Amino acid sequence: MFLPLYQVDAFTDRVFAGNPAAVCPLTEWLPAETMQAIAAENNLAETAFFVPRGGNEYDLRWFTPAVEVELCGHATLASAHVLLRHLNFKGEEIVFHSKSGPLRVRQADGRLTLNFPSRPPKPLTEHPEGLLDGLGAIPVSLLAGPDLVAVFNTEEEVRAIQPNQLHLVKVEYRAVIVTAPGSNGVDFVSRFFGPRVGVPEDPVTGSAHTTLIPYWAERLGKTELFARQVSSRGGDLWCELRGDRVLISGHAVTYLKGEIELND
């Protein structure tokens, strides 16, 4: 059996930057253990699989090298890019059905825009086990959503963090996000550490911004924001808060396309 495979760098307009995702279009679902094995073999933060429902609708699932996840932004962006760039999709909007509900993607001004649920965080007063040793730094405040959010005063502090994954894996959240105000036209910066889901540091994390956007929108008093994830690869995200939804826009570029050969 041969399956098409694409690798796309998301939230960037050039290869070797942004967040690489593998995308595997299917005509019907493979067993979950096979998709998990493919994701482990790809060894990227996420591998996305989608199956057409008809028209502009698709079912979409995401796997890290270790687990299936409920929401992934960059691999959704990459999947939309594959449909538009390589699979001749001609509609105005793509609708992906996922474990996080329907996710809509539109293309405009050279960027793809994800329409995702907003997941505002709540203040947290205690430092979870493993956090301070894992970051080697003390945040000024903590917030809790699907991920733990550690807020710092400056971009320089966020960039300087050298995570200790052996301690961060003890933090009982999906992942740890560190964030601070940005500079030079960037509203806020972030980094994302997810050793509990097999992703030591994710280069650019769309799903993290479902939590970061409502926090920074309230703090800065604005609904349109420009964000940068300051990992070693880096990536840019144009963000907007719209009620209980967030819009996350970015570029994507194909790195490779090929085939997976599975033994029948």
| 71 and 158 together in one domain | no
| 51 and 157 together in one domain | no
Separation CA 254–CA 98 (nearest Å): 23
pTM of the model: 0.92
Range of the domain at 256: 2-117+249-261
| 65 and 154 together in one domain | no
| 185 and 256 together in one domain | no
The DSSP H or E segment spanning 179 is strand 176-181
Q: From the centroid of its chain, how far is CA 21?
A: 10
Q: What's the Cα-to-Cα distance from 2 to each of 7, 26, 261, rounded to whole Å?
A: 16, 11, 5
Q: What percent of the chain has pLDDT over 70?
A: 100
pLDDT digits (tens, 9 = 90+) for 242-251: 999 999 999 9
CATH number at residue 74: 3.10.310.10
99 pLDDT band, cuts 50/70/90, is very high
| 255 and 207 together in one domain | no
C-alpha triplet 171, 40, 175: angle, nearest 5°: 20
> Stretch 206-212: mean pLDDT, rounded?
95
264 pLDDT band, cuts 50/70/90, is low
| 97 and 151 together in one domain | no
Helices (H), the chain: 32-42, 73-85, 131-135, 155-160, 165-168, 209-220
Residue corresponding to tokens 């405040």: 141
Beta strands 57-63; 46-54: pairing state: antiparallel
> Stretch 36-55: mean pLDDT, rounded?
96
Q: How many CB atoms lie within 10 A of CB 230?
A: 23
| 80 and 134 together in one domain | no
Q: Name the residues annotated as catalytic.
A: 46
C-alpha triplet 72, 74, 76: angle, nearest 5°: 65
pLDDT of residue 198: 87
Q: How many CB atoms lie within 10 A of CB 176?
A: 27
| 219 and 194 together in one domain | yes
| 100 and 172 together in one domain | no
| 219 and 144 together in one domain | yes
pLDDT digits (tens, 9 = 90+) for 69-96: 999 999 999 999 999 999 999 989 999 9
Separation CA 234–CA 131 (nearest Å): 23
> Stretch 176-182: mean pLDDT, rounded?
98
* Residue 49, token pair as written in the block: 């699989």
pLDDT of residue 108: 86
State which amino acid sits at residue 98: S
pLDDT of residue 110: 86
Q: Which of 141, 166, 163 is nearest to 232 (CA)?
A: 163
Separation CA 49–CA 66 (nearest Å): 15
Quote the number of domains for the chain: 2
Separation CA 182–CA 157 (nearest Å): 11
| 74 and 91 together in one domain | yes
| 135 and 239 together in one domain | yes
